[in-house]
Structure formats: structure tokens, C-alpha cells
Amino acid sequence: MNKDFLSLSDWNRSDLDKIFDLTRDLKAKQKQGEAHRLLAGKTLGMIFEKSSTRTRVSFEAGMFQLGGHALFLSSSNTQMGRGEPVKDTARCMARYVDGVMIRTFSQQVVEEFAAYCDVPVVNGLTDLYHPCQLMADIFTVMEHKGEYQNLRFCWIGDGNNMANSWINAATAFGFELRIATPKGYHPDADVMERATKQGANIIYTNDPREAARNAQVLSTDVWASMGQEAEQQKRQQDFVGYQINMDLLKLADPESVVMHCLPAHRDEEITDEVMESRHSIIYDQAENRLHVQKAIMATLMA
């Protein structure tokens, strides 16, 4: 079993499925009000170099429900934010806490942090990946569709951290994925190459309609991610036609489900109508961050 949860590409399907089994168990216990204090007396340090609503609240509430404690550390008031080397922060944090969650820009920072940190490190989003989100996403699909294996998934929009993580998920779990991005906005080239070498069933296209056709699961995300705010206007022009709306949904399976990791820009990458429609499983997806991350933390830290 790995020490850290940094990328789905580091994990095999059987260990990920075990996390889903534990998620199911912990979610049932939480719903029934049954104690599940698997991390009693333990502390999670949470380092945030970017904004967050869901990640912060779900990790913090999750630690509390598991009998532990979570510590919110924003880069604006830690020494790391003033330039203290990552390896020094990592080594000291490991002396105080039982696990660390980091949200930052570069995946290299998370990798370096984990290499110097003697306790488990969880990636709470980088520019490259968002693995906890993908675990919540696949778990939510299983709840709604009963499985993930034989479904046709599609990603429509930016080839960003979420798209890269969908590629890793398709590789690890072995489902079919179609990715439609505008030219110049494809996913990370190394991530695509590794998936291809590993025989992943992924089609890349610039045609959102081709990606959506007969899809059972459609997913998207904002066109300008955190750190790309200055490109917002250009991206809004470049992504015309990549919106998930009711017309696009007509091409998909009639019982298709629609996902978005949130926060969303309504009527940009996805319409308000789709978000409020029977197809949307977006809020279950958000809820499952809590349950799946509790299982990840219990797996790594118990």
C-alpha cells in the first residue's frame, strides 16, 4: 500500500476499490449516526495555497467525524508562504501531525513534500491533478449507475487538472473515456502518453458532439482554473461550443448523468438548466468528497 495519495496513477485498481468499500461503510455509518472513530486522537494538517470551499470543509468535517482534528494552514500565514523550503516544512510537520493534505500550484511541490514527510500526504488539488475529486466522482457514478466498468464517460471542456485526473481514472479503472477540448487546450501530454502506453481506452477529439454521443456520464469544469484568471476572457471565446447544455445532452444516453466538480460558472461551461435538471448528480458528487476522503485518510493514517 502507498504511503501517500498524490495521483491515481500511483495506485492500482484493487487498492482503489478497497477505498470505495470503506467509503460505502463509513457513509452508511455516518448516515445511521454510528460511531466510526478510526482516527481518534490523530491530527491532519491542511495546507492551502489556493482557495477552497468543498475541500477544506470536507476534510475538516471528515477528520472530526473520524474522531480526529484538522488544522487549517493558509499560505498567507505560514513560513512556507514566505519562502521556507518545502522540505523543511515537510520534515517539521511530520513531527507534529499524523497526515498532511496540500492544495497548491505545482505537482512537484506535493511530490517533494511527500518525499520529505514521514507521514501520509494527500493531494487536495494541484495544477496537474485533483485525485480526491475523481475518487468522489467515480464513487458517485457507482451509486447512481451501480457500476463504472461498462459505462461510456466523456469530458468536455478544458484539458486541465480534472481532465488529467479523468485520464488517470480511465486508465486505473478501465472504462471508456472520450475527451473533447478545443485545439491548444488538450490535457497534459505526458499524462496522455502514459495512458496510451498503458492501453487506456481513451479517444481525444475537438468535437464535443462526438464526445457526448451515447455517453452515460458527462463531466466538465470551469474554462479558467485557479491561477488562470487573467485568461478568462480569451478562454471564453476559445471555448464557444463546449458548453454542456440541453441540446448536447440530447445526443447522450437518455438516462445520462452530468457531473461538475464545482465551483461552476453557470451558463458558461454548463447551463443553469442542466445543473438543475434530473441529469445532474453534482451535489451528490460534492457530498461524496466527504465520505471518500474519510476512507482515504483512514486507509493511510489509521
Active site residues: 103, 130, 133, 221, 261, 289
Q: Which does 301 bind (CB under 5 to 8 A by kind): ligand CP, ligand NVA, none?
A: none
Segment near ligand CP (CB under 6 A); pick from 22-30, 51-59, 72-80, 180-188? 51-59
Nine-digit cell at 50?
489556493
226 contributes a contact to ligand NVA by CB under 6 A: yes
Q: Which does 256 bind (CB under 5 to 8 A by kind): ligand NVA, ligand CP, none?
A: none
Cβ neighbours of residue 29 closer than 8 Å, sequence gap 6 or more: 35, 36
- Among residues 55, 168, 288, 293, the one that binds ligand CP under rule CB under 6 A: 55
**Angle formed by the axes of helices 13-32 and 131-145, to 10°?**
70
Q: Which does 53 bind (CB under 5 to 8 A by kind): ligand NVA, ligand CP, none?
A: ligand CP
The least distance separating ligand CP from the CB of residue 62, rounded to whole angstroms, comes to 13
CA Rg value for the chain: 19
Chain centroid to Cα 225, Å, comes to: 13
221 contributes a contact to ligand NVA by CB under 6 A: yes
- Nearest Cα to Cα of residue 177 among 199, 201, 142: 201
Q: Give the whole-angstrom CA distance, residue 249 versus residue 255.
A: 10
Name the residue number minimizing CB distance to ligand NVA: 225
Q: Which does 71 bind (CB under 5 to 8 A by kind): ligand NVA, ligand CP, none?
A: none
SS3 269: coil
Q: Give the whole-angstrom CA distance, residue 298 versus residue 11.
A: 16
164 contributes a contact to ligand NVA by CB under 6 A: no
Q: Is the dihedral of CA 91, 96, 101, 104 positive or negative?
A: negative
Cis ω on the peptide bond leading into residue 85 (within 30° of 0)? no
- Among residues 52, 107, 164, 293, the one that binds ligand CP under rule CB under 6 A: 52
Q: Given the rule CB under 6 A, which residues bind ligand CP?
A: 52-55, 125, 133, 261-262
Please give the residue ranges that form the binding site for ligand NVA (CB under 6 A): 125, 160-162, 221-222, 225-226, 261
